[in-house]
Structure 1
Amino acid sequence: MQMEQKHTGKKMNLPLWVLRFALFFLFVPNLTIAQEQPKVNAEVDTLSIKIGEQIQYKITVEADSTDVVHFPEGQTFSPLETVEAIMADTLRNNDRVTLERIYALTQFDSGAYTIPPQLVTINEQQIFTDSFQVKVADVAVDTTKQKMFDIKPLIQVERSTANIWKTLLWILLGLAVVAALLYWFVFRKKPLSEAEKEALLPPYDRALLELKKLENSRYLIQDEYKQYYSELTQIVRMYLEEDVHLSAMESTTSELITKLEMLRDAGELKLEDDTIHQFQKILQTADLVKFAKSKPATSVAEQDRKIVELLVTKTHEALPEPTEEDLMLNEEYLAELAKKKQRKRLYWAAAIFVGILFLGSMFSVTYFGFKKVRDTVFGYPTKDLLENEWISSSYGFPPVELETPDVLVRQEIDLPKETQELIKELQAFSYGSYVGIFSVSASSVTYKEQNEPNFDGAVGGILSNFEQLGLKNIITKQEEFVTKSGVKGLKTFGTGTFEDSGANEGKKAKYNILSFGGKGFMQQVVITWEDGDEYAEQIVERILSSLDVKTQV
């Protein structure tokens, strides 16, 4: 027993270093868990500015290096406008980090304004900054040195002609190409070929030239007597037909000789009997060569060519001098011939122009599609709007920022008395009309009471207005809509059919109603367009991508 008690007592006496070691590990977890909480601080460089000057609003966040920090984004400082936001600095101290972001704010109306608390999110913890009271003072103007003038009235601004000039330039370029083609292929004086030069020679000169070519030919060397005599008789017959005005080409040998003798006997052609007789023998020889396959000696063939050349010369000399009447007839003939050539050129020009137009149209229709070509040539309202110079502007207060094909015009709206008691201010702007199918409108309402807006009631009022204007069978869908700056709103969209709206009867329309707001205000954008209009679809898509709102009054 004594031994056991002694052993037990020895077991209870723990060494001091063991106790210290146990206490260290007991408190280490507590030291690890006890981290510093994040800190958020906001400050401004001034509380008083003049119109248009800027306030430097700085938010400083001290947090752990592993924390995820989200600073305010977009126009969250309303009624002051955010000019820019920059990340100023990042400082590290062991496992702690200090982040700074500076916002440049401004205001263009004098008065006292409150910069609302700003939300900073660190991980899932939301921390709000303090609010600040800011005074915006008018800029003092020395009216003794600076003349004052009344505000000028609104004026109608002419539409930009930039797109018109582009279209005109393309048209002029196309016309220049067509004109160049017409000049090159039709109106340009082309160098004449040898055959064309020969055709322009007088009949006598042309006959002598052709006889000279026949002399230098190789028909006799190659034993081609039929071809030789065929060309020989054709040359002399063509000359007699053109210069003596005999129907020589279709006449037989005996008929042609008879006609020459008649002209000689009538005194219209001074030829000797021997010349006519020699010409008759040449024609008979040619008939024998062509039809009886006769083959005269080479010397005879050459002599026959010389006799024909002599006949042409004597016939030309034997022709009487042309009278003034003949010359006039010849001039009229030449003038008529020139007119025919001109008409032929014009026909060719018209044919080329129509061909280019047809080929260009076929290519355009194949490449771009019939509808786009038709709308480009004849015009289409929404296509013209889409290709217009777009306007980016801010409408109402709280403002609705939109980019539209045309400026939205302020509308004066008469409200019922019961509505006027609830609304502090209503500002409405629009382009087009609902029954014109394509329209855009934006409105901003501030209420006298700081209540949440009734989106369902406002949308229901717009749909009732659609029905009064003739839109029936309205289908409605709703989904969330987020602007480019991250503001969330309600998108109401769908389709309907115009059943009793005159020219639009039977057309199907589409609509978008976008609603935003908060306590004491509401903003809405309404867009309507014809279903199936691809240009309107592109316009709506561009408008929605540019839409942004400020949600603080």
Structure 2
Amino acid sequence: MPNRLSSINNQMNFKLYILFLFTTTLFAQKVSTSIDHPKKKIGAEFQLTLKTSVRKNDKVIFPKAKNFGPLEVIESYPVDSIKTNDRVDLVKKYGLTQFDSGTYVIPRMLVLINGKPEYSDSIKVEVNDVKVDTLRQKMYDIKNIIPVATESPWGFYLLLLLGALGLGGLGYWLYKKYMPQKREEETITYKTPIEKATSLLQQLERKELIQRGEVKSYYSELTQIARNYIEEEIQIPAMESTTSELIVALRTVARQKKLKLTNETLENLEKVLQKADLVKFAKEKPLDFEIEEDKKRITSTIVTIHKALPEEVEDTDALEAWNAQQQEALRLLQLKKAKQKKRITQIRLVFAVLVLALSTLVYAKGFDYVKDAIFGNEAKALLEGEWILSDYGNPSITIETPEVLQRIDATKNVPKETYAILKEMQMFEFGDLNHALYIAVSTKKFKETTDINFDTVLEGFTKNWEQKGAQNILFKQETYNTTKGVSGVKAFGTMTVLNKENNSSQKMYYELLLFKQDGGLQQIMVAHREGDAFGKKILERVINSVELKISQQ
């Protein structure tokens, strides 16, 4: 009996061991899901964390998407790894946001572990609107824009386009100025109408209109050659006459000038002209052998008319004069071509030098240097100018800026109800959010002791920016200490600012410092166009110069 019990226990232990291994393997591949906070304000960042524990050689693929359900992915952070014995904990974080208030669900996300699908848990988050006390905070007009030196907003591609257009325009202008039309240069002078007609017939065959199926164009040119020859040789209005009118006129002239034109010749010409009319207006499609026959009839008609004309005594002197005239015209044309070729070579050389000089300058100094040199850069001029170190407000803020900040009337920028609880408020600014650089400093002191909440202050800034035309405001928040150890909060991020005057927009990067001391609030904000290297250097220099002084009671 004890042996039997021992056997049963061994079997149960074995099954439990197998179950333990299976469970361990199962949970080793499970994806854990967490969120830094389930409730955030509009535009704030939710930080979603996916974590899985795998073996060292396992292959894990985390999701890649621009949106996780209704939330937008604004940042995909690098994967962190934590090694423990023979296993690795992989941690993947995502920054998510949403610009509409409401309750949303981050859906289950697919994670591939060695090609096998695993899913994260779904998480519900809440996006809260910014609450505004309409009884205490009324709407007020946007303050007037402070005029500053304007900077061209054109970027890299516009500069390339303008450069190409400028050089291309110069080349085209020089080409048009010094290069006559090719058609004018290559005008062919024919000695006799028969020579012209014969040459045009040969050119018509080289066009291969029949081979391309352009029968209508072929017949149109063929009959035009015949009509033009008859008009020039016999002086009758063949181009404006109908087929019947032309045949009647030919018969009349043949009788008057006693030309040997048989009825067969005139009938052949009439047949071709009539067929051409049918092809042009009735869309008739003659066969290949018919087209060949019509060409022979036109050629034969032209030759017959030429032979029927009375022979003229050749004027040797006139012929020599005509040949001399043609030779002189040919010499002048060749001389003109040589001059034009020389000018074209000069133009190409100048164009090549300009392109080479511009390319060398861009390579040596960089594209931004060339762009700034041509169009100017307001931020660059401010950075390289003389800076001013000044104190502003109470409690005072010591700050270095490229220009002196101008005092702003606080009563026009703060609701009366809010201003009523203030003992003192001072505001100073340079520029605005629609230009290359914006710097603002303000200090507030309250009549009564007030618990200042930085989150509430940031909400107020967000609403104020939106009233000034800002959209898609993103920010992050962290603690900040000055060089003398004064502690505060730093908020930074981007926003898109709309200019209502010209219906344009630009993306700005900003940093905002908040401090509370001596019963008051001190604020410093610097913003510049995103991607502007000079604006970034200005921001860093201004922020690093900030120091606070405690006012004397």
TM-score scaled by structure 2? 0.34
Larger RCO, structure (CA 8 Å, separation 6 or more) = 2
Structure with higher Rg: it is 1
